[in-house]
Homo-oligomer: A and B are copies of this chain.
Amino acid sequence: MAPIDLPFTLAEYTRRLTNVRAEMARRGLDVLFVEDPSNIAWLTGYDGWSFYVHQGVIVTHEHDPFWWGRRQDSNGALRTVWMSSDHVLSYADHFVQSTERHPMQDLAGHLLDMSLGRARIGVEMDNYYFSAKAYTSLVAALPDADILDATALVNWQRGVKSEAEIDYMRRAARISERLVDLARERIEPGLPKNMLVADIMAEAIRGNGEDWGDYAAIVPLLPSGTDAAAPHLTWDGRPFRKGEATFFELSGCYHRYHAPFCRTVFLGEPPETIKRAEAALVEGLEAGLAAARPGNRACDVANALAAPLEKAGIERGARCGYPIGLSYPPDWGERTISFRAEDETLLEAGMTFHFMPGLWMKDWGLEITESIVIREDGPAECLCDRPRELFVKP
């Protein structure tokens, strides 16, 4: 077996674990069971498309974490995690999608073996992919334990990025720029949409020189015309048409780190409505970037964005940003902070966000967004470097 090629130093994994344990201690948790694939990877290095079955990491205060999953995937764990092989636990295949038994019964057995049957155990009640049945099965199998909600406990520790993580995101951003450049260059009336998506997907995975591209946690989204009112439609084989705006919501991915980036291309002469919206949106983005600095709150960014939009008569009604970094499908967000009026979380240097004030109106859509890093001082740094405007192809 080849030596394990970890994406980060052991010191970085140790620091992550220390922070997670400190938060566990603060909440009085003896054990944390982590099923969110992004959290698993961030804590252990595990990387594989096996999150469609139950798997996770057992974090305690005493021992290195234990990877736990399906037996056939333990081979992948042995090849990707920093812990020694006796910290890779697995369950037999007859637990997989069975109506008679549940993998959580196997997990409970391991916890009992570790004398944790009466422990206070945190679980991710609302992260991917810890199901309702996983919860009720674990509760039933550990009647003397306290099973407590630790949703996003790890996600919150991921908020402030290390230099190494920001380096990965910068590399992802170089790929994101290439994708937006390619989309802008190749889109034209008559081109079937899937043909452009094919080119974008290939470019994303070719990557940027030595930096090979990984799969993004969300496929390219690029609705056109009236369909751009709907933010999450994917593609079909119909051609692009003159007189329509298409927004491109794309992200390069490097070692599972993302830098989402959206631009909109109008084929033909954009109507005044869209030009006015563009002007207000760019003004709002600039105000938001200026507000995105340490000591300010998440809502300050949202409010800064909202002012010029409101002046232009545009009410969004949706949050306008979320933290980003390491992720797996189905979402590249970290699901902690939201840029919205009710979120008073203080911003800190090293936090990274997709500042994402998409406009999804009744019969058109416009996306101009930036992936950003909160700096020590001054306005936020944008990871991608492309004109902040509606691209027009006459």
Contact = CB atoms under 8 A, between A and B. Distances in A.
A212 B237 contact: yes
What range describes how many residues of A lie at the interface? 35 or more
Given A49-B221, A330-B49, A129 B128 contact: yes
Interface stretch (A21-29, A225-233, A280-288, A380-388): A225-233
Interface in A130-148: 130-136
A274 to B, nearest CB: 17
Contacts of A80: 233
Interface in A31-82: 47-52, 71-73, 75-76, 78-80
A389 interface: no
A340 B93 contact: yes
Contacts of A126: 102, 131-134
A197 B50 CA distance: 18
Contacts of A234: 47-49, 214-215
Nearest to A213: B194
A236 to B, nearest CB: 6
Given A134-B132, A201-B201, A318 B221 contact: no
A83 interface: no
A105 to B, nearest CB: 13
A207 interface: yes
A149 interface: yes
Contact of A363 (B1, B195, B231, B363): B1
Contacts of A48: 230, 232-234
Contacts of A127: 131
A48 B317 CA distance: 20
A57 to B, nearest CB: 16
Contacts of A231: 50, 72-73, 75-76
A2 interface: yes
A213 B236 CA distance: 8
Nearest to A125: B133
A249 B127 CA distance: 28
Q: Which of A80, A151, A194 has most B Cβ within 10 Å?
A: A194
A194 to B, nearest CB: 4
A219 interface: yes
Question: Max chain B CB contacts within 10 Å: which of A79, A134, A202, A317?
Answer: A202
B198 A72 contact: no
With a 10 A CB-CB cut-off, give which of A198, A210, A318 has the most chain B CB atoms: A198
B49 A226 contact: no
Given A135-B136, A210-B237, A214-B234, 16 more contacts: A1-B363, A48-B232, A49-B218, A49-B219, A71-B317, A75-B230, A75-B360, A93-B318, A96-B338, A126-B133, A132-B132, A192-B212, A195-B206, A198-B213, A201-B202, A215-B234
20 contacts: A49-B330, A51-B330, A52-B333, A72-B360, A75-B360, A76-B231, A93-B318, A94-B340, A97-B336, A125-B131, A125-B136, A129-B129, A129-B330, A133-B149, A135-B135, A135-B136, A198-B204, A198-B213, A212-B236, A215-B234
Closest 7 A/B residue pairs (Cβ):
A212-B237, A132-B135, A126-B133, A52-B331, A76-B230, A75-B230, A125-B133
Interface of A: 1-2, 47-52, 71-73, 75-76, 78-80, 92-94, 96-98, 102, 123-136, 149, 151, 192-195, 197-199, 201-207, 210-215, 218-219, 221, 226-227, 229-237, 317-319, 322, 329-331, 333, 335-336, 338, 340, 342, 360, 363
